[in-house]
Amino acid sequence: MITMKYNFNEIEAKWQKYWKENGTFHAENDSEKPKYYVLDMFPYPSGAGLHVGHPLGYIASDIYARYKRHQGFNVLHPQGYDSFGLPAEQYAIQTGQHPAITTKTNIARYREQLDKIGFSFDWSREVRTSDPAYYKWTQWIFIELFNSWYNVETDKAAHIDTLVAKFETEGNANVNAVCDDDIAIFAAADWTQYDAKTKQEILLKYRLTYLAETEVNWCPALGTVLANDEIVNGVSERGGHPVVRKKMTQWSMRISAYAQRLLDGLNTIDWPQPLKDSQTNWIGRSQGAMVTFKVDGHDANIDVFTTRPDTIYGVSFMTLAPEHDLVQKITTADQKEAVEAYRDATSKRSERERMADVKTISGVFTGAYALHPFTGEKVQIWIGDYVLASYGTGAVMAVPCGDQRDYDFAKHFGLDIPNIFEGVDISEEAYGEKEGVKIANSDFLNGLTYKKAMKTVIYELEKRGFGKGKINYRLRDAVFSRQRYWGEPFPVYYVNGMPQMIDVKHLPIALPEVEKYLPTETGEPPLGNAEVWAWDTNTNTVVDNKHCHSELDAESTDNGIYPLELNTMPGWAGSSWYFFRYMEKALRDEHFASQEALDYWENVDLYIGGSEHATGHLLYARFWTKFLKDRGFVGVEEPFKKLINQGMILGTSAFVFRIDGTNKFISKNILDTINEKVNNGENLSEQEHSLFENWTPISGKSLPVQSIHADVALVSSADTLDIEGFKNWRSDFKDAEFICEEDGTFKVAREVEKMSKSKYNVVNPDEICEAYGADSLRLFEMFLGPLEQAKPWNTAGITGVFSFLKKLWKLYIADEGPRVTETEPTKDNLKTLHKTIKKVQYDIENFSFNTSVSTFMICVNELSVQKCTSREILEPLTILISPYAPHIAEELWFRLGNEGSIATAKFPVFEERHLVESSKEYPVSFNGKMRFKKELPLDLSKEEIEKIILEDERTEAQLNGKTPKKVIVVPGKIINIVG
């Protein structure tokens, strides 16, 4: 039976069931409609479940997706799970529970929570990165990267076969590729004579994913390497563990090949500026020159990168990073000891220490000299830890007059500071500015400005063979191996230490079972524990390790069974292409996505997610997309056309105060009163004093209390603590005493902090849905403020949107039954409706969802006052509100007698004519301050308005007898009188 009350639980369950059963939000890949792709950054399903901060972005994107459906678009709005990751593995290490099981449980919980909020997701396209059917194609992309090289001539990636063809016909001398630095030149004839292993070794230096011994960020506590973006302030992003430098053989991704395109692409996409800025900084393009200095008395060169080759005549010494390869070779005998000691000391210092300590100047002279390319003068070669091995060539030409770090170094060690700037005082500090000065004491550069000097010196460097113009990037190749269990296995086995790819038709290579999720005793990654983890090239299956052909044992015959890779892929592998996977609906085993699907959906039109992925996921996803485009697998250069960052929802923590050394808790207001008295030097009452035995009040010193987080579930919106609940919450509070306010309540203090389990300030969306309904939750999350802004969660305000929904309901349905009639709408009715259409449409298109909610409230308030019952008004209103509060909209739409879902009902069209007015209540200002208002017809001329206003008695009162200097009349807007 149909009730007349707004029974949100019933309504929401009913429509969620309807949507599911009818596949209301399933997108079609062949449609006459224009496409629109709305995507959320998919969640990692953690054990804690969703809190109210998570759905914020999902609600916003859902509103947009639903709006686009009303506008006649075929909308793809999918969802899935980034389900490989460290927390499940850590949990497995602690409990022995298989990560696949915990992940599955967590996903089920997430799904249940998401379903309750009424999102219009197309779940038929769900992806899970840990699903073998999904990571089959992650493995495939890896293989394609392995089978590719970057051709600088065409500025594209190409199949490795095209490179081999070049080697076979012309060698590598004329190959312009992005590759390793240490490439030896060979001719076509050489190539054909190389054995298979040598060829493989050479090709590895060109491949877009390659195996190389690299210096990595090793995190001993996590037992794995970390990428640069996974380290924050020298410690691991997850867990805050120390990170040290270590040399390891690792898979790397040659993302550096794409540095310039990643930079250029930013101009073509609609992303928030701060996000673009951080990618720009991360890529770190700088333009300058590569200059070669000869080492005196050695057959060795030092290459340096400099952005200021124009200051080359200011070079008075050189500094190498302590780790620089040449150091050992060139150090003289009498400096050997000092240099060794310094190198030893720096290698022991952690990254963190080196970063924290930027003030101490340290370094050692190697005893060797370099020759200045232009003057031939001898300059000392030093080592110093202010030079980073990982940037440029790990060496600098020091120009102390133009660079503050070189200047400080020179001052500290008493080195020369030659001045090459015309009329600049460098007795106190270096002159770092580029503009506004001319070069002096620099031979052919004398008298030139920065720009001209740059051109001239690069020309000369190139002409005389001392160097060349170069663009350098800070962006490093990304390490792609992780020493973890819960990640994608590599489709790789090793023959004679050389990596071999498994053919795509044998994928996926599924994650093996292991006894323990920790590294092995010999320090191998967790997959080293797997017993069935060898590749049989005869049967193309994974087989028991005991059959493995051992390379160490010369006696054994090669049986075609080889060890598989023990590392797994990093978290960003699966998330770098998942947006393409959603496009494919049916034949997911045959391709990562079909050509037709890719052609139809192209890329994501709107992407919503957090800004914390700026230099991780969002950069890698752009990289893989460009690569897939180059190789013709997808048609787009950028994955996400428009991106919006949603702000974080913060928790409002509650604190109780415990008097030190006791189990007595003191209510906040009492504590504040006493603190104030102490600060003002007032005497405390005997009772107050007795609370703090053995404590002498000193002004300015706060009372000896400890603040403790109380669970926000135990605190009312008026900051009152549920004392009984608190006592039962933790056993050590069982016998606690409470010093309460006069009215007998116990008050807590509030503070805004990040929402987290450990701060006991987490609020779950389920609780809200249960108490007020999903529509209330959706409206309230939007109502909190602008989407991109961080904002504190305060449940108190939810009653506002909840009563709004009840009011909305009552507009349609009275206690006695439906009130909608076929009456003609009044002028006021139409005006209210159309100004609402105009505003809501503007707001959605500008992602200003908070103001729409206000607009709905105003609209319903006005229609209630107008006692509007007209279907012509109320029916379009349900569509307007449906993106925000879809359940109530569906139900009202249904009760208005419509068939089926409201989801694709046409969005009402705004008509200006309903807003046209014949008169305006003009604000009348004096010197810019509004003093009174006057209703005037809109068709009056400026002169007429001026005349009427000047005759108004209130004007005379304001002017107080004076004649106005000027009268400004803006018809339809304002009148301003200048006195």
Contact positions with RNA (CB under 7 A) in 837-866: 839, 842, 848, 850-851, 853-854, 857-858, 861
- Element at 929 (helix H, strand E): strand 929-937
How many of the chain's residues bind RNA (CB under 7 A)?
85
Binding-residue pattern over the window 955 to 974 for RNA, x denoting contact by CB under 7 A: -----------x-x-x--xx
The contacts of residue 596 (CB under 8 Å, 6+ apart) are 29, 30
The single-letter code of the amino acid at 152 is: V
Out of 425, 921, 939, 951, name the contact with RNA by CB under 7 A: 921
Q: Which amino acid is at 962?
A: K
Distance (Å, rounded) from C-alpha 765 to C-alpha 774?
A: 8
Please state the closest distance from residue 275 (CB atom) to RNA, in A: 9
- Closer residue to RNA in complex, CB, 469/923: 923
Bridge partners of 479, per DSSP, are 252
Which is closer to RNA, CB of 168 or CB of 845?
845
> Are residues 354 and 416 in contact, defined by beta-carbon separation less than 8 angstroms?
no
Would you call 724 helix, strand, or coil by DSSP?
helix
Minimum Å gap between C-beta 486 and RNA is 25
Q: Which residues inside 209-228 make contact with RNA, applying CB under 7 A?
A: 228
**Interaction of residue 800 with RNA, rule CB under 7 A:** yes
Q: Which pair of tokens denotes residue 385?
A: 């830890």
Give whichever of 133 and 790 is closer to RNA, judged by the CB atom: 790
Q: Does 40 bind RNA (CB under 7 A)?
A: no
Binding mask 396-415 for RNA (x = CB under 7 A): xx-----x-x----------
User: For 443-457, what is the HEC assignment?
Assistant: HHHCCCCHHHHHHHH
Four-residue CA torsion sign, 510, 516, 518, 519: negative
Least Å distance between CB 841 and RNA?
Answer: 10
Whichever of 921 and 939 has its CB closer to RNA, that residue is: 921
Measure the CA–CA gap between 356 and 783, rounded to whole angstroms: 42
Rank residues 52 and 634 by Cβ distance to RNA and give the closer one: 52
What are the structure tokens assigned to 106, written together?
A: 């967590």
Q: Which of 205, 895, 931, 934 binds RNA (CB under 7 A)?
A: 931
Q: Does 176 bind RNA (CB under 7 A)?
A: no
- Please, which residue, 386 or 444, has the CB nearer to RNA? 386
Q: Which residues contact 362 (CB under 8 A, 6 or more apart)?
A: 342, 384, 385
Q: What is the DSSP string of 5-29?
A: S--HHHHHHHHHHHHHHHTTTPPPS
Q: What would the DSSP string read from start to end of 198-247?
A: HHHHHHHTTBSEEEEEEEEEEETTTTEEE-GGGEETTEETTTT-B-EEEE
Among 305, 562, 572, 600, binds RNA (CB under 7 A): 305
In the complex with RNA, the residue whose CB is nearer, 325 or 524, is 325
Q: Does 689 bind RNA (CB under 7 A)?
A: no
3-class secondary structure, 812: helix
Structure tokens at 397: 């030409």
Question: Starting at the edge strand that comes first in sequence, how are the strands of the sheet with 561-563 ordered?
Answer: 541-543, 534-536, 561-563
Give me the least distance between CB of 160 and RNA, in Å please: 30
Can you tell me which of 223, 610, 923, 971 binds RNA, judged by CB under 7 A? Answer: 923
CA dihedral 851, 610, 627, 629 (to 10 degrees): -20
* Residue selected from 260, 292, 307, 449 as contacting RNA according to rule CB under 7 A: 307
Between 114 and 860, CB nearer to RNA: 860
Query: 592 vs 141, 579, 580, CA distance in Å?
Result: 9, 11, 8
- Our finding on whether 717 is near RNA (CB under 7 A) is yes
Give whichever of 109 and 806 is closer to RNA, judged by the CB atom.
806
Closer residue to RNA (CB): 361 or 532? 361
- 886-895 and 798-812 are packed helices; what angle lies between their axes, rounded to 10 degrees? 10
> Which CB sits closer to RNA, 511 or 844?
844
Candidates 176, 249, 281, 716; binder of RNA (CB under 7 A) is: 281
Identify the three-state secondary structure at position 71: coil
Nearer Cβ to RNA, position 293 or 579?
293
Which of residues 114 and 924 has its CB atom nearest to RNA in the complex?
Answer: 924
804 touches RNA (CB under 7 A): yes
d(CA 265, CA 259): 10
Q: CB of 712 within 8 A of CB of 796? A: no
Instruction: Build a one-symbol-per-residue string for 428-467: x at contacts with RNA by CB under 7 A, - elsewhere.
Output: ----------------------------------------
By CB under 7 A, name the one of 185, 221, 388, 586 that touches RNA.
388
Least Å distance, CB 215 to RNA, is 13
Which residues between 718 and 737 bind RNA (CB under 7 A)? Answer: 718
Q: Does 363 bind RNA (CB under 7 A)?
A: no
Q: Confirm or reject binding of residue 938 to RNA (CB under 7 A).
A: no
Q: Of 55, 78, 118, 288, which one interacts with RNA (CB under 7 A)? A: 288
Query: By CB under 7 A, which span of 88-96, 191-199, 254-262, 920-928 interacts with RNA?
Result: 920-928
**Which of residues 96, 635, 928, 937 is near RNA by CB under 7 A?**
928
Using CB under 7 A as the binding rule, whether residue 615 contacts RNA is answered as: yes
Q: Which residues pair with 231 in a beta bridge?
A: 236
Instruction: Please measure the distance between the N-terminal and C-terminal CA atoms of the chain and give it in whole angstroms.
Output: 70
Rule CB under 7 A: say whether 284 interacts with RNA: yes
> Per CB under 7 A, does 610 bind RNA?
no
Q: Which long-range contacts (CB under 8 A, 24 or more apart) does 394-397 make?
A: 394/320, 394/321, 394/323, 394/324, 395/302, 395/303, 395/304, 395/318, 395/319, 395/320, 395/321, 395/324, 396/304, 396/306, 396/318, 396/319, 397/291, 397/293, 397/304, 397/306, 397/312, 397/315, 397/318
Only one of the segments 50-58, 394-402, 502-510, 682-690 lies at the binding site for RNA (rule: CB under 7 A); that segment is 394-402
Nearer to RNA, 76 or 381 (CB): 381
In angstroms, the CA 817 to CA 871 distance is 15
Taking CB under 7 A as the criterion, the residue among 23, 72, 274, 560 binding RNA is: 274
* 786 is a site residue for RNA (CB under 7 A): yes
Cβ contact 729:714 at 8 Å: yes
By the rule CB under 7 A, 273 interacts with RNA: yes
Whichever of 171 and 418 has its CB closer to RNA, that residue is 418
Distance CA 130, CA 529 (A): 20
713 near RNA, judged by CB under 7 A: no
Q: Which CB, 106 or 869, lies closer to RNA?
A: 869
What is the footprint of RNA within residues 310-329 (CB under 7 A)? 321
Least distance to RNA, CB of residue 345, Å:
12
Structure tokens that stand for 400 in this block: 């102390």
Instruction: Pick the binder of RNA from 803, 821, 823, 941 (CB under 7 A).
Output: 803
As to burial, measured by CB atoms within 10 angstroms (0-12 exposed, 13-18 middle, 19+ buried), residue 590 is exposed
Q: For residues 199 and 967, what is the distance between their CA atoms, to the nearest angstrom?
A: 87
- Distance in angstroms (rounded) separating the CA atoms of residues 247 and 520: 19
Residue with tokens 């449940």: 795
232 binding RNA? (CB under 7 A) = yes
Between 278 and 594, CB nearer to RNA: 278
Which of 385, 477, 630, 711 is close enough to bind RNA by CB under 7 A?
A: 385
Name the residue with tokens 């208002």.
Answer: 933
Lookup result for tokens 């906040």: 668
